[in-house]
Structure 1
Amino acid sequence: MSKRKLSRQQRWRIEKIQAERARRAEKRGEQDADRLAAGEYGPERPGRVTAHFGRTLDVAPDKGDEPVRCHLRANLEGLVTGDRVVWRAGQDGSGVVVARGERDNVLERPDARGQLKPVAANIDQLLIVFAVEPAPHANLIDRYLVAAEATGIAPVLVLNKVDLLPSRGGELRELLGRYEALGYPVVTTTTAREGGLDALYRRLAGRTSVFVGQSGVGKSSLIDRLLPDENLRIGALSEDSRKGRHTTTTARLYAMACGGELIDSPGIREFGLTHLEERQVAEGFIEFRAHLGHCRFRDCRHRHEPGCALLAAVEHGDIHPDRFASYRRIVDSLEES
């Protein structure tokens, strides 16, 4: 499809808008520089971004004080919740962020247009929350695991609402056992009984964690129990569809009494993987890695090719057939998109 040709007037309007934006950004930078030179801001201090609101953000000082609403220097872009920054406090109670520190990692996900959008930074573990209701699907869990492996952030599976499980556990217990056998940590939780969050507390202590998962699995409910002093909105579970309503609109970082930090990210029904290549998807299935590169043909697509090492591993029981089928569904979905 050819690009639409713009008229001279349309090009003039676009150039005018862009020039005006550049002037406003330059003016903000000059105003910040003037205020810094005039001594209206204090000395540079380290901090952590706890929430982001366009050109302003909340920064938590490193000494545990309350977050400060800060403006961004004009030359700073792309900051996200969890970023380490250098900021200066203003006399009016606000502040200005003057620099961003190096990132250990960044969690990104494609937006509606397929463009990668950063969600949070400097994360120790990705807590993939699922529950008895709405019913979890192994392929969705695998998508989260592939996304986590691609970013280098350690994933942890969290099964919530375990009080609703059958006494013998059923298919969910079998599914959990499959992931545990692969070496993934699994934590079970419930807010319906005393001590139902003890294992989760131990897992969160001393780490920065991000909660992801389908809407309705109880992410906000868990955080509300973990952080009773925070005023979080909890979405009711729809009685008709048994799917949760999306309630969280921006990623926020919360400090815990145990020393850990939680980043509550916007609800994600399906973690898009369209930015990944087929090779990255295969590497995201950790049990595949020992067999990758051992196929007879270097361009093996792992479908019906003779001498495929992955197909042989499935036949010999080294790769679970359901996991391989899940891999194929993900790759097929990438080709369709």
Structure 2
Amino acid sequence: MTSLDQYGWQAYRSSHPQPIEMNGLILGRIVSIKGFKYYAQTENGELETELSGKLLYIAENTELPKVGDWVSLMAYDTMGYIIDVLPRKNALARRNPGAPTQKQILATNIDAALIVQGLDREFNIMRLERYLVQLAACGIASIVVLNKADLVPDPPAYVDAVEKLQRPCVVQVCSTYTGMGLDALRQNLLQPGCTYVMIGSSGVGKSSLLNALMNTATQTINATSEANHKGRHTTTTRDLFLLPQESLLIDTPGMREFGLTGDEDVTSGDLFPVIQRFAAQCRFNDCQHVDELGCAVIEALHNGTLSSEVYDSYVKLKKEQRRFEIDAEEKKRLNKQFGKITREAKNYRKKYKY
């Protein structure tokens, strides 16, 4: 029998002090989703479950169970049925690649994210900045893992490049081939009972890192393509693993797209702290930091205090977030308009009985 405290229950409860009424139902945590099957860890082990009618026909996609969710279950024979999803501490989301105005939730109830970048051909500072911005918007702490350090002559140079972003994140250099940095990752950064999610592009070594942390061949490893030097997708589902030191790690498929989303509850200062430090000295409170008179951000850019890479990233990512917000609002407006037309047509048919 496995205690749910090993799967992060105490960490979850500490962030949700209000009482949770189970009403005779079973508590579980979603550890994997395969098609229409949801696998939940319970006090009595892993249970294969399906959605109840309430969730199947009523819930929005973002409200459906995701890996990391705590859920209430009803057991029936060897199966279980998910009755409800407990309130989330947070959720890692990105813009849905197939529906640009919608969010896609990747994992929930996360204490920190491991952003894995390979130092061979997959190190991309702009992509890293994109991850860091979205994680800040989701309220999730960041740990940058620079993998494949054995393949480059000067790993500290990559650490310097990350630190120039001036973001509150931990940076850990490692190599799954030589074992460099893995003990520090296990002992100093991954805390027992806490949940971490691992994200990054294909080919950065996420599967190798998971295998090293699990001390076993949990995930299959494919070689990087020799034709285009791009990683191949080896992980195809999101799964939650209990590591030997009792940390929890959610593995995710490689993502070449990580579109940003808008969030009304997050300020620009939360997403771009280095810009905010200069913005506090701007002449106008509503300064957009483009060409306004008395803009301290532009002044810092001109005198070299603020790097052009950081400023260019800020402008690009702010535009992308704004586009998502506008597109989402337009979709909401059109849906509202369509709903009004539908109601009017229904009332007209009812009035004239046809």
Say yes or no: does 1:100 pair with 2:79: no
Q: Distance in 1 between matches of 2:155 and 2:69?
A: 40
Under a length normalisation based on structure 1, what TM-score does the superposition of the two structures give? 0.77
CA–CA distance in structure 1, aligned partners of residues 179 and 286 of structure 2: 54
2:95 match: 110
Partner of 1:38: none
What corresponds to 2:31 in structure 1?
50
Q: What does residue range 185-224 of structure 1 map to in structure 2 within 5 Å? A: 185-194=170-179, 196-202=181-187, 203-206=189-192, 207-224=194-211
String of CA shifts for 1:41-86, please: whole Å, max 9, x gaps: x95221110112354300001x4x5421012211124110000112
- CA distance in 2 between partners of 1:90 and 1:313 (Å): 64
Which amino acid counterpart does residue 28 of structure 2 have in structure 1?
A: G
Structure 2 residue ranges without an equivalent (≥5): 1-22, 325-354
Q: How does 1:152-231 map to 2 (within 5 A)?
A: 152-166=139-153, 168-169=154-155, 171-179=157-165, 182-194=167-179, 196-202=181-187, 203-206=189-192, 207-229=194-216, 231=218
For the 8 Å contact 1:108–1:119, the answer to whether it is kept is yes
| Range that drifts further, 99-108 or 319-328 | 319-328
Query: What SS class does the counterpart of residue 118 from structure 1 fall into?
Result: strand
Question: Which residue type is aligned with residue 47 of structure 1?
Answer: G
Name structure 1 gaps, 5 residues minimum: 1-41
Cα RMSD (Å) of the superposition?
Answer: 2.6
Q: Which moved more, 1:127-136 or 1:222-231?
A: 222-231
Q: Residue 72 of structure 2 is aligned with which of 72, 86, 108?
A: 86
Residue in structure 1 matched with residue 138 of structure 2 by the alignment: 151
Deviation digits for residues 153-194 of structure 1 (CA, Å, limit 9, x no counterpart): 00111100111121x436424214435x64421111111124
Q: Match for residue 73 of structure 1?
A: 52
Of 201, 221, 232 in structure 2, the residue corresponding to residue 245 of structure 1 is: 232
Question: What residue is the counterpart of 1:286 in the other structure?
Answer: 273
Could you list the structure 1 runs, at least 4 aligned residues long, displaced by more than 6 angstroms after superposition: none
Q: Deviations over 1:171-218 (max 9, x none)?
A: 424214435x64421111111124541122121232211111111101
User: In the alignment, which residue of structure 2 is the partner of 1:31?
Assistant: none
The answer to which of 293-302 and 266-275 deviates more is 293-302
**Structure 2 CA distance for partners of 1:254 and 1:169, relative to 1, 3 Å:** closer
CA contact (8 A) 2:120 2:152 kept: no
Deviation at 1:149, TM superposition (A): 0.5
CA contact (8 A) 1:46 1:84 kept: yes
C-alpha distance in structure 2 between counterparts of 1:85 and 1:192, whole Å: 38
Deviation digits for residues 128-147 of structure 1 (CA, Å, limit 9, x no counterpart)? 11011223121111111100
Q: Is the 8 A contact 1:50 1:82 kept in 2?
A: yes
Matched to 2:95, the amino acid is P
**Structure 1 position 324 matched with structure 2 position 311:** yes
CA offset at residue 313 of structure 1? 3.2
Query: Could you tell me how far 1:292 is from its partner in structure 2?
Result: 3.4
Q: TM-score, normalised by structure 2?
A: 0.74
In the alignment, which residue of structure 1 is the partner of 2:126?
139
Asked if residue 59 in structure 1 is aligned to residue 44 in structure 2, the reply is no
- Counterpart residue identity of residue 89, structure 1: A
Q: Distance in 2 between matches of 1:302 and 1:154?
A: 27
8 Å CA contact retained: 2:202, 2:253:
no
The alignment partner of 2:313 has SS state of helix
Distance change in 2, residues 1:335/1:68 (3 Å): closer
In structure 1, C-alpha distance between the alignment counterparts of 2:263 and 2:90, rounded to whole Å: 17
Query: In percent, how many aligned pairs have the same letter?
Result: 33
Of the structure 1 ranges 105-114 and 188-197, higher mean CA displacement relative to structure 2 is found in 188-197
> Does the 8 Å contact 1:188/1:200 carry over to 2?
no
**Other-structure match for 2:8:** none
